[in-house]
Structure 1
């Protein structure tokens, strides 16, 4: 594993870098279990695992031009990865620059994302 990172951290980083930052939807097929329990308030419900993540990536990239996520803090505890990230870009509808803090908790089993909690707030 690169630089001593665990498999779960590498999977999380792939979601951030390939998925959200680059718009590569194939990452969802690679990392998501067929059944993904999504607890994020705004997440679309009733979709298969990888389709949930694809929808989140597409929605974020559609609404935020130049979307960039930077992981600022990351902790791994057993099968969970906890991260605090900064999201920046330009809100397409308003043209305003945005900077928000995201907090994600991802639970992995057997190399697949099986559960996610997420929230966001103002960045300081």
Structure 2
């Protein structure tokens, strides 16, 4: 099974810019309505993916803020943390080593969605 987070944004273009600048995602596929609104976008990073779209375009139900965990290696954790700090991103939990392994931090995007970034990989931890 593959699980791909899907998040709705009021300003999907701003979210695309934020996710690429702050978390290093690439957005190879962005689909827009005739009036230019992002209807669906697929962002990739490594072998992971997140999808997003604009509120009110294709989905009438909008839930509260999402929480997503991005797994990277230790060096990337440190580098992405520095990028987030330099960009003035709201840091919810400062970078730290975890008792259960890995390092990580947590930030909030401009629309309130929470992103945790860490090197602890529960899928590949023996």
State whether TM-score is above 0.5.
Answer: no
Q: Which has the larger radius of gyration?
A: 2
* Greater per-residue strand proportion: 1
* Greater per-residue helix proportion: 1
TM-score between both structures, scaled by the size of structure 1:
0.28
